[in-house]
Amino acid sequence: MTAPILQVDDLRVTFDVPVRGGWPWTPARKLQAVGGISFDLQPGEVLGVVGESGSGKSTLARAIIGTVPSTGGILFEGQDLSALGADARRSRRRDIQMIFQDPLAALNPRMTVGDIIAEPLTTHFPKTPRAEVRQRVQALMERVGLLPNLVNRYPHEFSGGQCQRIGIARALILNPKLLICDEPVSALDVSVQAQVVNLLRELRRDLGIAMIFIAHDLSVVRHISDRVMVMYLGRLMETAPARAIVERPRHPYTQFLISSVPIPDPALEKARPRPVLEGDLPSPLSPPSGCVFRTRCPKAKPRCAAEPPPPYEVGPGQRATCHYWDEPTPMVQAAE
Amino acid sequence: MAFHDPTADALQAPARPDKGRSLWTDARRRFFRNKAATVSLIALVLIALFAFFGQFLSPFDGETVDFTLIGVNATQGVPSFETGHYFGTDQEGRDLYARTVQGTRLSLLIGLVGSLVAVVVGTLYGATSGYVGGRTDNAMMRIVDVLMSIPFMFVLILLLVMFGRSLLMLFIGIGLISWLSMARIARGQTLSIKNKEFVEAAVATGVRPLTIILRHIVPNLLGVVIVYATLLIPEMIIYESFISFLGLGVQEPNTSLGALISRGASQLGNGVPWQLGFPLFFFVVMLFAFFFVGDGLRDAIDPKDR
């Protein structure tokens, strides 16, 4: 195995939440959005990240890209990004690019598409001749499936799917080694989703870019990822190869997520047993003690409140953060 | 070209890049569809032409005193084309047309300078404050609060009294206060823009903060800023006129619309209504036009209208 392109070690992101109505000097409450996540990413690998809203997926992405302050190690090609100075880090950002959730909001409405796509290039290589910039932008537009003669158009003249392609082109212009996709398709129509996902797959095959693919839709993630990471309340619940996570989920939360992917057959859908999940996501301001999932877990025991579970090795390349991963999860059939 | 069909382009796939329709182009089209605003804009252009080139149409300048007319203003100084005094003469026997041209020019300048300072200083200050955020933002906005809480009319009068009544002082005084509320508006807009994903994309790419402010924040602020600036111009003109009306503004032989109106008003009982009427006409038309243009711009630029 080659050296990992990205090593994340015990990454934590804590936000200050000011106390409402307090004095300016009242200490803020701490909200831990990401609480101790570690993983490695191999060159060319696609890592899917799933979890419900508020599970810290996007914050994880923003911590890696450096727009949110974090503690813990983020080693990119063996180099600790957090130890770099502002300038060095800025130039390192060339190699990590990001695609955003809302395709239109990610494009400056006052800039032409050509300028938007060229921005990373003109930022890091300001001396590039204009003709060359233009030529690269147009080549890239063609590559992501946009007509290159639309360079002078503005973002509001494009559809959501086209805007996402513009976002992808912008992310690719510097030939990055790692692409972070933050729910790139969740704002798009299903048919357009497929096009964009297929485009990303193609790009990955042709360019060999490593990707972190974030989504709350497990079926999309399964389609594109080599490995899937399941997050809940800022913690890692389970990591496994994409096949294993669908076929042999070990963590009760993963099992719940799998069972909530609808089957397009009403009879099968009704007959399928699923674990019961009660209540809502607890507030990240006061997470449960021990295992954060225990408040909603159907097989929670006193031990779960006392000690946080370590990642158990439950299969080849598969780790689940649950004390009782080898016990069966109580399932119920959907009510008639 | 009213309608542009992108699919037709796509089918032909021309080699030349086609032109995009920017948000500004859209706004311009919407603005000119607004009749009142268009007419007001034309009126403003005419007034500006009048203010800057009107003196060439008259044989008289605003400073020469015609002693033969003093005292017989009501009968001899009437507006007429034969004498060349189109707007009549004032109390001292000076040509009122030339005086009005001069006053309109000064009032326009005051408004433009005030709102120019507001646009440049206020926008940059507010955008920086909002973008940097945190303690810096707090400190910068408290400074604005403090400056705003000083009764500026009082300060302006003090300035004029202490440093003498010069035009420069008037410009400085108006410039000093005009940017404050602009800074607040710009900051508020910046706060909502800086959380947009395109700003995050720029940060993630490694664009420098100053470039982000200038390239991504300010152009998106500009719509609101322009509207506010157009509405600020008449406000500044009114302030200046008020000060001149009190007798503290511009100094003779220079004049402004406020000063002319003040003098005209004091002569109202002497049968010379043109001394009030002409300056007042230009004052009112100018203010109306600015307000209509500002309104039109707001409707044109406001994205919620789309």
| Residues of chain A that touch chain B, judged by Cβ-Cβ distance less than 8 Å | 62, 65-67, 89-91, 93-94, 96-98, 100-102, 105-114, 119-120, 123-124, 147-154, 156-157, 167, 170
Task: Provide the pLDDT for residue A275.
Answer: 75
User: Which residue did the predictor score with more confidence, A66 or A162?
Assistant: A162
Q: In the predicted model, what is the mean pLDDT of residues A285-307?
A: 84
Mean pLDDT of chain A: 85
User: Can you tell me the distance from the alpha carbon of A61 to that of B118, in angstroms, rounded to the nearest whole number?
Assistant: 39
Task: Provide the pLDDT for residue A9.
Answer: 86
B103 closest CA partner among B288, B278, B236: B278
% of chain A residues with pLDDT over 70: 99
Q: Using CA atoms of B58, B59, B62, B66 in order, give the dihedral in degrees to the nearest 10.
A: -130
Q: In the predicted model, what is the mean pLDDT of residues A266-295?
A: 80
Comparing CB atoms, the residue among B16, B21, B208 nearest residue A149 is B16
What is the CATH code for B40-69+83-305? 1.10.3720.10
Listed by start position, the domains of chain A span: 6-225
How far does B211 lie from chain A, in Å, by closest CA? Answer: 10
Comparing CB atoms, the residue among A65, A112, A124 nearest residue B20 is A112
Query: How many CB pairs below 8 Å do chains A and B form together?
Result: 94
Task: Identify how many contiguous H helices and E strands chain B contains and give both numbers.
Answer: 14, 0
What is the interface pTM, i.e. ipTM, of the complex?
0.82
The one-letter code for the residue type at A80 is D
User: Can you tell me the distance from the alpha carbon of B198 to that of A104, in angstroms, rounded to the nearest whole number?
Assistant: 9
Asked whether A254 and A245 are in contact (CB, 8 A), the reply is yes
| C-alpha triplet A235, A239, A242: angle, nearest 5° | 135
Task: Provide the pLDDT for residue A166.
Answer: 92
Q: Do A90 and B16 touch (CB under 8 A)?
A: no
Q: Do A67 and B202 touch (CB under 8 A)?
A: no
User: Can you tell me the distance from the alpha carbon of B14 to that of B245, in angstroms, rounded to the nearest whole number?
Assistant: 63
Q: Do B9 and A149 touch (CB under 8 A)?
A: yes
Q: Which residues of B touch A150 (CB under 8 A)?
A: 17-18, 20
Task: Provide the pLDDT for residue B2.
Answer: 47
What is the CATH code for A6-225? 3.40.50.300
Q: What is the 3-state secondary structure (H, E, C) of B248-297?
A: CCCCCCCCCHHHHHHHHHHCHHHCCCHHHHHHHHHHHHHHHHHHHHHHHH
- Given a cut of 50, is residue A299 above it in pLDDT? yes
Beta-bridged to residue A73, according to DSSP, are A9
- Walk along chain B (306 residues) and give the pLDDT tens digit of each residue: 445 555 544 444 445 667 767 777 888 888 888 888 888 899 889 988 888 887 777 777 777 777 676 666 667 666 776 777 777 777 777 778 888 888 888 888 888 888 888 888 999 999 999 998 888 899 999 999 998 888 877 877 888 888 877 778 778 888 888 888 889 999 999 998 888 889 988 888 888 889 999 999 888 888 888 888 888 888 888 888 888 777 777 777 778 888 888 888 887 777 777 878 888 888 889 888 988 888 888 888 765 544
How far does B202 lie from chain A, in Å, by closest CA? Answer: 8
Which of B205, B221, B222 to substitute to test the interface with A, most A CBs within 10 Å?
B205
B107 closest CA partner among B117, B95, B99, B118: B99
- For chain B positions 7-26, those within 8 Å of chain A (CB to CB) are 9-10, 13-23
User: Can you tell me the distance from the alpha carbon of B183 to that of B119, in angstroms, rounded to the nearest whole number?
Assistant: 9
Task: Provide the pLDDT for residue B206.
Answer: 83
How far does A163 lie from chain B, in Å, by closest CA? Answer: 12
**Is residue A170 very low, low, confident or very high in pLDDT (cuts 50, 70, 90)?**
very high
Comparing CB atoms, the residue among A108, A119, A147 nearest residue B13 is A147
